[in-house]
C-alpha cells in the first residue's frame, strides 16, 4: 500500500473561526486550500469539491503531473493525518480519516464539502428562508403559516423561554406520512417489514394497508372518547401495532406517550399519573430471545398504582401477541380491558384527518432526570415534522430504493424520529424487529440484513461492541452486500468499535453516520453527511443545517479553535422541544439557566484542530481527578482499544487524595481470564493513551454490564456498586438480565 505524505498544514483552516464559532462562512464558497501530496516526486491536490468529475484517482485528487496517477488503494496523509478512501482498504489504527469515494459522492444528496458549506451557510444566514423553503416544497399544509416563520427567546434574562416554528400553519403528521405518499404513487410500496423474535415469522404492510390499519385504530380511539389534545399511553413492544398506534394518535390530534415496554410498573404508573391518559394501549406479552415478558401484568400493576394515586384509566386496549402468549392465559379485568383484535378491525378503514396547528403537541416522551422524576419532553407538530424528515434524508443519504433498519425501540426518541416519523415522511421502507439482536445467535442481525436486503443500518455502539465481542465469524458468514450506509446513535462510539463496524460489518465500503442528538433536540444536531466530509473514527464531525453548536467554558464564554468544554447551541432549530410537560420552570432551569442565551445540552465536547467535534459524554459523567476533568467516555475508549477488552464502563468514586477516583468495570474478550497481568496491561493502556492522571484506580471484572433491554448501560447502578451503596441500587426491573448485578457485587473485591 503506497504511503503519500502531505505538508502539515491543517486541512480546514478556515472552518475553525467561522463555521464553528461565528458561522460567517461566505469565504468558504471556494475550494479549500490546496494540499501538497508527495508521491514519487509528484504533487497532488485534494479538492473540497468532491463532485468535480474530471479528475483522476476516483476524482478525489488532481495531478500536477497528468502522466502519472496513484493507485486507488493509496493511503494519503491529509495535513497531519493519514487517510484511506472508502472501499479501497480497511481502516487501520494508523488511518485517521476515511475519505468518501468518488462513486459514493457522485450519487450523494450532498456530494461535497462545498455543497454542504453552501447549504449550511444558507441555513444559518437565512434560517427562515431555508426551512420555509423545505417546509413548503416537501410537505402538505392545509393552511400556510403567516409572515413569521419562527420566533424564539433562548435567554432567561429576557423573559420566558419560547420557541415557535411555522405557527399558524395547519397540517397533520400522519397525513404527511401516509396520505401524501399514497397520493404520490407509493400506495403499493412496502411501508413496514416486521420480523418476529422467532425466526421464520414475519409480516409486511404497504403504505395503503398501513393507512387502513391506522384509520381503524383512529376511529376506535374516537369512539371511546379520545379527542384532540388527549393523552394516550402506549406500552407496546416492537410490533407493527406500535407505529400504527403512534400514527393513529397523530391522525386525530391525540398526544401519544410511548413508554418503553421494559420499564417497571412503578415507572409506568409514574408516567400515567403525570399525563393522565384517556387510554392505555399494550399487548399481553412479548418474547425477548427465549424469555417471555408478561407486559399485561406490568400494566395491571401500574393501573392499580396510578388509581391509588388518584388517576384512573377506563380503557386498556390489549393486543394479543399470539407468538408470546395466548389470550386464555392472560389476566383480565372485565369492563376495562378490551382485546384489540375483537374491536379495532370492525371500524372503517378511512378516517378524517384532524388538522392541527404547527405548534400543537404531537407527543410526550419521558426522559430521565437528575432528581429521579422523569421529565416529560414535549414535541410539537410542524417543526418536528420538517426537521426529522430532513435530517433523515440527508444524514443517511436516503434513496427511494433503500430498505432502512433502525434497531432502536419506539419507546425512545430514536424510535420516534428515525423508526416512524422521519423515514415515513420520506416514503421509506422500514424494518421492525421484535426480538433480541443476538437471538438465537449473534448472527441474527446480519441474517435479517440479508433477508430483507437492508441498505441502511442504524444502531447503538453498545450493540456494536457486544457483537464485536462475539467475533467476526457471526458477521462474515453472511453477505451483507446490500448495506450502503451505517449509523451510530445513543453515545459516543469509540474508535476501535467504529473501525470494526466499518471494516467487518460494512466491508470498508459503507460510511458511518455517527449521529449526536438528544430526546430534547428531536433530530440530529451534529452528524457526518456520508458523501461530503472525510470521517474520523469516533467523531460526529460537523453540525447539521441550521444548528449552531458552541463550546463554552464554565463561565459561558465561547471557545475558539481546538478546545474542550460544555456543548451549547445558540439559536433555535425546528425540531427543538418546546417545554417539559407541566413544568416549564424546570425546562428553563435545566436547559437555559446554566448558560443564559444558549440551550445547554448537558454534554461535554472537544473540538480538534481540524474542526471535528468529539462528544465526551454527559458532564455529570466527567470525573474531576486532582483537578483534571476526565470524560468517562475517553477512558472507556482507551480501555476497549485493548485487544483483550470487549467492553468497559467507567464511573467516578470518592477518593481521599484526588477528590474523585476512576473506577472501571471491564468485560474481557470471550475466553480471556481475569488476571493481574491483564489488569496491569489495561491500566498501562490508559496511561499510554491519555496520561497517568487518567489511569483507573480500580478495575472491576464484569462478566457483563447491567443494561436495559434496549442496550443502554445503567451507570446509576454501577456508581452504587462502586461506592458500595448496595442498599441504594434502586429499580433493576428494566435490566435485560437483573442477575448481572449480583455477579458484579460478588466480584467487587476480586
pLDDT for residue 10: 34
Confidence of residue 627 (pLDDT cuts 50, 70, 90): low
Confidence of residue 528 (pLDDT cuts 50, 70, 90): very high
Three-class SS state of 44: strand
How far apart CA 40 and CA 50 sit, in angstroms, is 24
pLDDT for residue 713: 87
Q: Which residue has the higher pLDDT, 271 or 7?
A: 271
Q: Which residue has the higher pLDDT, 562 or 690?
A: 562
93-107, 158-172, 420-434: least confidently modelled range: 93-107
Does pLDDT of 8 surpass 60?
no
pLDDT for residue 46: 33
Going by C-alpha positions, the residue among 499, 642, 636, 468 that lies closest to residue 95 is 499
Q: List strands edge to edge, sheet with 37-39.
A: 61-63, 42-46, 37-39, 3-6, 75-78, 81-85, 97-99
On whether the CB atoms of residues 604 and 564 are closer than 8 A, the answer is yes
Does pLDDT of 620 surpass 80?
no
pLDDT for residue 42: 22
How far apart CA 152 and CA 173 sit, in angstroms, is 23
Does pLDDT of 571 surpass 80?
yes
Confidence of residue 129 (pLDDT cuts 50, 70, 90): very high
Question: Could you report the per-residue pLDDT of 444-485, keeping only the tens digit for each?
Answer: 999 999 999 999 999 998 889 889 988 999 999 999 999 999
Question: Could you report the per-residue pLDDT of 136-145, keeping only the tens digit for each?
Answer: 999 999 999 9
On whether the CB atoms of residues 429 and 189 are closer than 8 A, the answer is yes
620 in catalytic set: yes
Sign of dihedral through CA atoms 120, 121, 125, 129? negative
pLDDT for residue 80: 61
Does pLDDT of 70 surpass 60?
no
On whether the CB atoms of residues 20 and 610 are closer than 8 A, the answer is no
Domains assigned to the chain:
626-747 (3.30.300.30)
pLDDT for residue 708: 81
How far apart CA 260 and CA 232 sit, in angstroms, is 14
How far apart CA 523 and CA 740 sit, in angstroms, is 33
Q: Tell me which residue has cell 423515514.
A: 423
Q: In 561-581, which positions are buried (b, 16+ CB within 10 angstroms) versus exposed (e)? A: eebbbbbbbbbbbbbbbbbbb
Question: Could you report the per-residue pLDDT of 459-468, keeping only the tens digit for each?
Answer: 998 889 889 9
Question: Could you report the per-residue pLDDT of 167-224, keeping only the tens digit for each?
Answer: 999 999 999 999 999 999 999 999 999 999 999 999 999 999 999 999 999 999 999 9
Torsion angle defined by CA atoms of residues 16, 19, 20 and 21, in that order, rounded to the nearest 10 degrees: 100
pLDDT for residue 370: 43
Residue 79 in grid coordinates: 495535513
Number of Cβ within a 10 Å radius of residue 309: 12
CA 119 remoteness from chain centre: 23
pLDDT for residue 334: 96
Catalytic-role residue among 202, 620, 697, 731: 620
Q: For 501, which DSSP code?
A: I
Q: Please give the average per-residue pLDDT across 61-69, as a whole number.
A: 29
How far apart CA 173 and CA 156 sit, in angstroms, is 31
pLDDT for residue 368: 64
No. of helices (H) and no. of strands (E), the chain: 23, 37
On whether the CB atoms of residues 392 and 418 are closer than 8 A, the answer is yes
509-513, 648-652, 698-702, 724-728: least confidently modelled range: 724-728
pLDDT for residue 440: 96
Question: Could you report the per-residue pLDDT of 366-412, keeping only the tens digit for each?
Answer: 986 544 577 899 999 999 999 999 999 999 999 999 999 999 999 99
| Beta pairing partners, 331 | none
Question: Could you report the per-residue pLDDT of 21-58, keeping only the tens digit for each?
Answer: 434 443 333 223 222 222 222 222 233 333 333 333 33
What phi, psi does 565 have (nearest 5°)?
175, -150
How far apart CA 53 and CA 463 sit, in angstroms, is 38
179-193, 217-231, 240-254, 647-661: least confidently modelled range: 647-661
Q: Please give the average per-residue pLDDT across 268-288, as a whole number.
A: 95
HEC string for 160-193? CCEEEECCCCEECHHHHHHHHHHHHHHCCCEEEE
Confidence of residue 147 (pLDDT cuts 50, 70, 90): very high
Q: Which residue has the higher pLDDT, 621 or 186?
A: 186
pLDDT for residue 731: 74
Q: Average model confidence (pLDDT) for the chain? A: 87
Q: Which residue has the higher pLDDT, 663 or 692?
A: 663
Amino acid at each position: 500500500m503506497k504511503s503519500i505524505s502531505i505538508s502539515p498544514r491543517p486541512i480546514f483552516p478556515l472552518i475553525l473561526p467561522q463555521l464553528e464559532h461565528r458561522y460567517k462562512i461566505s469565504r468558504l464558497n471556494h475550494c479549500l486550500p490546496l494540499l501538497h501530496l508527495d508521491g514519487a516526486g509528484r504533487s497532488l491536490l485534494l479538492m473540497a469539491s468532491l463532485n468535480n468529475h474530471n479528475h483522476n484517482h476516483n476524482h478525489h485528487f488532481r495531478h500536477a503531473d497528468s502522466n502519472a496517477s496513484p493507485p486507488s488503494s493509496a493511503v494519503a496523509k491529509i495535513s497531519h493525518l493519514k487517510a484511506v478512501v472508502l472501499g479501497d482498504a480497511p481502516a487501520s489504527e494508523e488511518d485517521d480519516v476515511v475519505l468518501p469515494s468518488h462513486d459514493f459522492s457522485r450519487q450523494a444528496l450532498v456530494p461535497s464539502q462545498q455543497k454542504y458549506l453552501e447549504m449550511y451557510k444558507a441555513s444559518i444566514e437565512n434560517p427562515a428562508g431555508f426551512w420555509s423553503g423545505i417546509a413548503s416544497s416537501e410537505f402538505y399544509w392545509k393552511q400556510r403559516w403567516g409572515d413569521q416563520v419562527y420566533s424564539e427567546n433562548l435567554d432567561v434574562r429576557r423573559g420566558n423561554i419560547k420557541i415557535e416554528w411555522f405557527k399558524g400553519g395547519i397540517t397533520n403528521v400522519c397525513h404527511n406520512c401516509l396520505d401524501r405518499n399514497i397520493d404520490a404513487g407509493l400506495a403499493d410500496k412496502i411501508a413496514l417489514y416486521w420480523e418476529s423474535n422467532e425466526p421464520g415469522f414475519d409480516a409486511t404492510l404497504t403504505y395503503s394497508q398501513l393507512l387502513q390499519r391506522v384509520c381503524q385504530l383512529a376511529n376506535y380511539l374516537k369512539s371511546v372518547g379520545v379527542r384532540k389534545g388527549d393523552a394516550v399511553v402506549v406500552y407496546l413492544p416492537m410490533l407493527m401495532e406500535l407505529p400504527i398506534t403512534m400514527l393513529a394518535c397523530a391522525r386525530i390530534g391525540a398526544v401519544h406517550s410511548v413508554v418503553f415496554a421494559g420499564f417497571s410498573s412503578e415507572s409506568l404508573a409514574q408516567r400515567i399519573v403525570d399525563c393522565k391518559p384517556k387510554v392505555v394501549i399494550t399487548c399481553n406479552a412479548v418474547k425477548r430471545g427465549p424469555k417471555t415478558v408478561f407486559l399485561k401484568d406490568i400494566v395491571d400493576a401500574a393501573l392499580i398504582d396510578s388509581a391509588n394515586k388518584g388517576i384512573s384509566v377506563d380503557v386498556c386496549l390489549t393486543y394479543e401477541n399470539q407468538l408470546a402468549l395466548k389470550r386464555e392465559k392472560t389476566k383480565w379485568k372485565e369492563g376495562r380491558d378490551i382485546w384489540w383484535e375483537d374491536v379495532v378491525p370492525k371500524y372503517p378503514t378511512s378516517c378524517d384527518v384532524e388538522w392541527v396547528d404547527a405548534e400543537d403537541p404531537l407527543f410526550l416522551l419521558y426522559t430521565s432526570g437528575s432528581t429521579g422524576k422523569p421529565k416529560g419532553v414535549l414535541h410539537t407538530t410542524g417543526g418536528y415534522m420538517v426537521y426529522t424528515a430532513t435530517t433523515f434524508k440527508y444524514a443517511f443519504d436516503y434513496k427511494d430504493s433503500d430498505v432502512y433498519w433502525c434497531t432502536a425501540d419506539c419507546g425512545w426518541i430514536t424510535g420516534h424520529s428515525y423508526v416512524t416519523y422521519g423515514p415515513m415522511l420520506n416514503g421509506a421502507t422500514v424494518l421492525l424487529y421484535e426480538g433480541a439482536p443476538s437471538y438465537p445467535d449473534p448472527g441474527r442481525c446480519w441474517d435479517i440484513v440479508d433477508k430483507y436486503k437492508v441498505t441502511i443500518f442504524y444502531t447503538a455502539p453498545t450493540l456494536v461492541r457486544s457483537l464485536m465481542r462475539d467475533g467476526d465469524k457471526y458477521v462474515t458468514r453472511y453477505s451483507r452486500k446490500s448495506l450502503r450506509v451505517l449509523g451510530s446513535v445513543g453515545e459516543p462510539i469509540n474508535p476501535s468499535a467504529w473501525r470494526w463496524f466499518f471494516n467487518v460489518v460494512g466491508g470498508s465500503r459503507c460510511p458511518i453516520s455517527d449521529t449526536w442528538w438528544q430526546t430534547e433536540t428531536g433530530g440530529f444536531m451534529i452528524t457526518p453527511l456520508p458523501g461530503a466530509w472525510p470521517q474520523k473514527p469516533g467523531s460526529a464531525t460537523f453540525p447539521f443545517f441550521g444548528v449552531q453548536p458552541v463550546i463554552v467554558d464554565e463561565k459561558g464564554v465561547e471557545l475558539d479553535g481546538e478546545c474542550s468544554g460544555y456543548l451549547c447551541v445558540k439559536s433555535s432549530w425546528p425540531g427543538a422541544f418546546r417545554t417539559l410537560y407541566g413544568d416549564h420552570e424546570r425546562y428553563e432551569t435545566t436547559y437555559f439557566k446554566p448558560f443564559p442565551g444558549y440551550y445547554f445540552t448537558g454534554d461535554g465536547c472537544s473540538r480538534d484542530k481540524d474542526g471535528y467535534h468529539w462528544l465526551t459524554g454527559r458532564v455529570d459523567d466527567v470525573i474531576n481527578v486532582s483537578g483534571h476533568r476526565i470524560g468517562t467516555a475517553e477512558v472507556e475508549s482507551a480501555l476497549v482499544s485493548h485487544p483483550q477488552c470487549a467492553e468497559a464502563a467507567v464511573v467516578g468514586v470518592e477518593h481521599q487524595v484526588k477528590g474523585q477516583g476512576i473506577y472501571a468495570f471491564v468485560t474481557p474478550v470471550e475466553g480471556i481470564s481475569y488476571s493481574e497481568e491483564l489488569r496491569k496491561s489495561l491500566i498501562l493502556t490508559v496511561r499510554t493513551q491519555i496520561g497517568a492522571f487518567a489511569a483507573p484506580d480500580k478495575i472491576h471484572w464484569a462478566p457483563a454490564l447491567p443494561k436495559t433491554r434496549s442496550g443502554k448501560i445503567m451507570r446509576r447502578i454501577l456508581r452504587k456498586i462502586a461506592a458500595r451503596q448496595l442498599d441504594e441500587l434502586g429499580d433493576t426491573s428494566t435490566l435485560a438480565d437483573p442477575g448481572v448485578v449480583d455477579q458484579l457485587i460478588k466480584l467487587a473485591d476480586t
